[in-house]
Structure 1
């Protein structure tokens, strides 16, 4: 019963259902890692949502390559957080310790409630600026780049966004204890996971108060009526108050107004930064260059600050969505190894206190290389098979010389079957490379000119 009670308690974190008394702490160091505690629930929700879509025969609501790409972005974000743990709060701590006007009592229910509202207010403006300022959109567009809308989309996050969003919360450091800030940043984030679904339609009167799947579907749409609407995190009241609310009417078409048509983690993360750089090269004069950076992503010389709405392509569901060229066998192969990579990542988190900095750098580089390899296999790039052979080799090198012996950990039972899969995969990928090389046409010098 105690275990069931704990499971239900953690489930409540996803819906901001938590007691103020149980989530109030004197210092930020005492605050639990609520996101880490709830992470296994993400996988459960993804599987349950997938099962519902299969049972209801809505096979167009998900795609293997897109889901892998989405989770890969979240994994990238978490890998970088390993090295920059604490970076998101350093500015807040500095202001709170040196410039605070007063300090609200950390153990007050009123402080807890004020923080819920204040953090969400800060999130609204951070989110809105992320859409209305081009250089910030370059990071945030990662989250909008999926053409599907499901729980894996919630995990599609930008690495860069982690390090500018906290700026919007700095005014709170003048009065709010850092422990309260850390608690509500986590709950505000967790609440936004479950609203990324098409399964839940509307929630009655709650639609007037809180952010819901219906409201957030509009936010992710690229229909004209959806653009720059519904920035809410937890409370939809901010959109209603500041004129950015839009109710769901016609079915949203998800994704960017110009689809990026790739599952490459690197491309998804940096493509808009590259676009901004190209626009800076073309812009004439300092004024236009600054406008490229700080006006909306739709701005151009002679256009309004946020661009001309008439420039947004009109779309109506259903539309043709990007699908990587890999066949079902390769998608299954990548999906299997992606699941094994997730096991590897959680093992690293479980044992990270035993690693040196250089070991963590090596393991993280391996994880990032593996994610890029998966996208190469899905998109059938020329070096994909060779990259995968190196990935399998790096797996054994990493586990033999860098990571602690798995036989001494909670992951020991998984180690033997995982090794078998990698040995078989390595042999198989070498056979594929040999076959590709053997069947490649070879021409003599005399034949080349014919």
Structure 2
């Protein structure tokens, strides 16, 4: 990678790019900035860890980081089989309702799109907190009790299916290619504000969203709730009355008002939806049911739309965070297999035109099952060993069936390494699971007075 490409990659994360660097006439010419940003995300995570280490502060936890990265990876999987929802809807609206054709290569169009996309994002984000059915997806992003760069990647797999509506008015006058540039840059910018390393940025705190502002947004202290929705610009919060400055003398407790206490990928994504469904079974009228869906998460009959502030539990810092200890070798094992999942994702994204839809779906299912297994291991669930044994066995079966095809495309050494990894893992987890089951059965047959 050349120095200019390296510089451009980092500058995209901070929106420090020029119109002539990021303007395209045709939609298909717009690069996938989010996919290209992966190595820059990793490098900044490493830099953040080094700074925290030098400052003598706690490093990101392996289990929390895995949970965040798993959610981030799942949020990208839909793009392998579907065109991005926001883009598809925007292109359709542009072709049917566009009333003004602005020049794609004008700096004024570029700046207008930056502002328009960020204004729409403010309302996407605000509705994500104030409308319960949308919060059911957005809460995933807030579920971490930590706050670092990995938290930025903890994304919902489903929020994009709600957010597209808010961008539709922009299709009246903005070219789709420029919209696609800024919807990506707007998302990339929000990565770097997820850190405790950066303190105040002086006068910039009045204009742009900074780490200080976003720390408040992720807090569950009473003064933090439903504040600072801005993506790039903080001026929208100042205009619409949702701004709150960080209080330097008050420690922020991060996460949800009611912590999930699980590293499960599926639970993190679906827990609030399950809660909404349970509430719908108890409603006494249609209007009450609509309130459960479209009013705030804290609403209940007889309460204001967003609930009562006094219902929010008081936070006493430092907060005891959810944690299940596993051995160091186990952590190394999980992260090694997670790296294989990342590699599989990169293979799928680079071969979408060569692979059949069926093969792509097989890869997606395997990744989701893998991430589910990793969460179960970090939660120390009773079924974790059996699930991991089944997952590794399924991988071996797949490699055996497709070996002749894979051998023609990928280096034999790499394939053999992966084969050995899954073979050893399947045998090891099979032995561990059988041993644990036998031990549990034996204990169950021994009278309690002898235990």
Does TM, scored on the shorter chain, surpass 0.5? Answer: yes
Deviation at 1:102, TM superposition (A): 0.9
What is the Cα-based RMSD across aligned positions, in Å?
2.2
- Cα distance in 2 for partners of 1:314, 1:437 equals 42
Pick from 229, 234, 239 the counterpart of residue 237 of structure 2.
239
- Cα distance in 2 for partners of 1:392, 1:437 equals 19
- CA contact 2:80–2:348 (8 Å) conserved in 1: no
Deviation at 1:403, TM superposition (A): 8.0
Secondary structure class of the residue paired with 2:316? coil
The verdict on how the C-alpha distance between 1:403 and 1:209 changes in structure 2, with shifts beyond 3 A counting, is farther
**How do 1:306-385 residues align onto structure 2 when only pairs under 5 Å count?**
306-385=306-385
The verdict on how the C-alpha distance between 1:431 and 1:84 changes in structure 2, with shifts beyond 3 A counting, is same
Deviation at 1:382, TM superposition (A): 1.8
- Cα distance in 1 for partners of 2:446, 2:218 equals 58
Range moving further from structure 2, 138-147 or 202-211: 202-211
Deviation at 1:404, TM superposition (A): 8.1
- Cα distance in 1 for partners of 2:77, 2:124 equals 23
Where structure 1 has 5 or more consecutive residues not aligned to the other structure, the ranges are none
- CA contact 1:363–1:398 (8 Å) conserved in 2: no
TM-score normalised by length of structure 1: 0.94
Deviation at 1:283, TM superposition (A): 1.4
**How do 1:229-308 residues align onto structure 2 when only pairs under 5 Å count?**
229-249=227-247, 250-308=250-308
Q: Deviations over 1:51-91 (max 9, x none)?
A: 222332212x5211111011101111111221222432222
The answer for the alignment partner of 1:161 in structure 2 is 159
Range moving further from structure 2, 357-366 or 44-53: 44-53
Where structure 2 has 5 or more consecutive residues not aligned to the other structure, the ranges are none
The answer for the alignment partner of 1:5 in structure 2 is 4
- Cα distance in 1 for partners of 2:390, 2:376 equals 13
TM-score normalised by length of structure 2: 0.94
Pick from 128, 133, 136 the counterpart of residue 135 of structure 1.
133
- CA contact 1:263–1:324 (8 Å) conserved in 2: no
The verdict on how the C-alpha distance between 1:106 and 1:269 changes in structure 2, with shifts beyond 3 A counting, is same
Q: Deviations over 1:308-354 (max 9, x none)?
A: 01111111321000012434332232122212221222222222321
- CA contact 1:73–1:156 (8 Å) conserved in 2: yes
- Cα distance in 1 for partners of 2:406, 2:127 equals 45
- Cα distance in 2 for partners of 1:320, 1:47 equals 25
**How do 1:161-240 residues align onto structure 2 when only pairs under 5 Å count?**
161-240=159-238
- Cα distance in 2 for partners of 1:299, 1:135 equals 12
Range moving further from structure 2, 274-283 or 85-94: 85-94
The answer for the alignment partner of 1:28 in structure 2 is 27
Secondary structure class of the residue paired with 1:370? helix
User: Is residue 37 of structure 2 the alignment partner of residue 49 of structure 1?
Assistant: no
The verdict on how the C-alpha distance between 1:442 and 1:48 changes in structure 2, with shifts beyond 3 A counting, is same
The answer for the alignment partner of 1:93 in structure 2 is 91
Q: Deviations over 1:22-73 (max 9, x none)?
A: 21111222211111111111111122222222332212x5211111011101
Deviation at 1:269, TM superposition (A): 0.4
Secondary structure class of the residue paired with 1:380? coil
- Cα distance in 2 for partners of 1:412, 1:150 equals 38
- CA contact 1:209–1:235 (8 Å) conserved in 2: yes
- Cα distance in 2 for partners of 1:445, 1:305 equals 55
**Count, aligned residues:** 447
Q: Deviations over 1:369-411 (max 9, x none)?
A: 1111111111121211111111112222333435885555577
Q: Deviations over 1:87-139 (max 9, x none)?
A: 32222112211111111111100000011111100000110011000000001
- Cα distance in 2 for partners of 1:351, 1:227 equals 43
The verdict on how the C-alpha distance between 1:135 and 1:446 changes in structure 2, with shifts beyond 3 A counting, is closer
Deviation at 1:290, TM superposition (A): 0.5
Q: Deviations over 1:178-223 (max 9, x none)?
A: 1111110000000000111111111111111111111000000000
- CA contact 1:145–1:255 (8 Å) conserved in 2: yes
- Cα distance in 2 for partners of 1:73, 1:165 equals 18
